[in-house]
Amino acid sequence: MVLKKRTKRLLLAIVLLLIAAPATFALWLYRELRSPASHEKANEYIEIPRRSTPENIASKLLSEGVIRRKWPLLLYIKLTGSAKLIKAGEYRFPSPITPLGVLKKLEEGEQRLSRFAVIEGWTRWDIAESMTHVPELSLADKDEALKLMDDTSGIRDLDPNAKDLEGYLFPATYSYPPDTKAAAVIAGMVKRFRQEWTPERAERARVLGMSPRQIVIIASLIETEAKLKEDRPLVASVIYNRLKKNTALGIDSTIIYASKLAGKWRDDGKVYLSDVNRRSPYNTRIFSGLPPGPVGNPGESSIDAALNPAQTDYLYYVRDPARDDGKHNFYNNSADFEKGVRALREWERTQGR
């Protein structure tokens, strides 16, 4: 009788163990898959090649320190049939991350993206020069990029007179796969401009009696002149007021642009007498009206300022020497303007400029 009781207790213990062990293991596996692990490769790309097996992938992630143990992830992949959902690619895994977080990224797919920034006001020469420093674009020199910018097919309906893409290479940060060609990156800049040139902005240009090209030219002038967003509608008002009076705009950035076109710009930040006297239609000290084309690539706020100039009687502006943020003072007469210029020159003299 005693032996039978002991046998029953042993069998019960075995049954309870058989029940408890899987439950305990399942709980452990649940926690393991959801426990974040820290690693040192958060800012690096880890390549998962095509036709990699789950075993290969888990081994690589383990060697890179992204996961602490490979078999919990492998077991989960096998139990759920996730292997067919995993995509090849180049991945960056944040730290910390759980094994399930790793698997989610592998199922979503990821590709390394290169980034290229176009700064507001940059000319096409600036953009071309910067593009030559992006190894993935494989450009021999900036002339190769500039030649691509001569293709105006993407803006022909907006600006049939454009000789190049100056003004239509929208300033922004662009992300693209590393095998993207330079022409596609440039096309992306043009595409972004077209997205920003909304029907509302096109209608506003029509109300002003301006073509898209004229608005882009004015916006490029505003971009090169105004540092502060709040100054831009005021600078726009000066440009429009001087155009109405057929007064030369006298904007230095157009003189600089003329010198760049002639291959004579010294690029030392100074405007020389030879620049000022250059007989170019871009020289707005010599010729009244707008220059023949944009002198840079304007951003959104400059485009909006060109479309919505402040209503003023201002004809002049000069930088405010009392501030170091690029703020301008605005004037409606030459006498006050000359006082402003003298104040700026005096400040420059005290600064040793």
Q: What are phi and psi of 305, to 5 degrees?
A: -65, -40
Residue 16: the pLDDT is: 45
Confidence of residue 17 (pLDDT cuts 50, 70, 90): very low
Confidence of residue 23 (pLDDT cuts 50, 70, 90): low
Residue 21: is its pLDDT beyond 80? no
Average pLDDT value over all residues in the chain: 90
When pLDDT is averaged across residues 62-74 and rounded to a whole number, the result is 91
Quick one: DSSP state of residue 281?
T
Confidence of residue 52 (pLDDT cuts 50, 70, 90): very high
- Spatial separation of the C-alpha atoms in residues 264 and 35, rounded to whole Å: 63
- Spatial separation of the C-alpha atoms in residues 291 and 286, rounded to whole Å: 11
Q: pTM for the whole thing?
A: 0.76
Which domains, and CATH codes, for the chain?
33-112 (3.30.1490.480), 114-196 (no CATH), 211-314 (no CATH)
Q: Which helix (H) or strand (E) holds 14?
A: helix 2-34
CB 115 within 8 A of CB 180: no
Q: What are phi and psi of 307, to 5 degrees?
A: -85, -20
Residue 79: is its pLDDT beyond 90? no
Query: Which residues lie across from 317 on neighbouring strands?
Result: 330
Residue 243 sits at the vertex; the CA angle it makes with 313 and 287, to the nearest 5 degrees, is 135
Confidence of residue 24 (pLDDT cuts 50, 70, 90): confident
When pLDDT is averaged across residues 196-207 and rounded to a whole number, the result is 97
The two structure tokens encoding residue 7: 């046998």
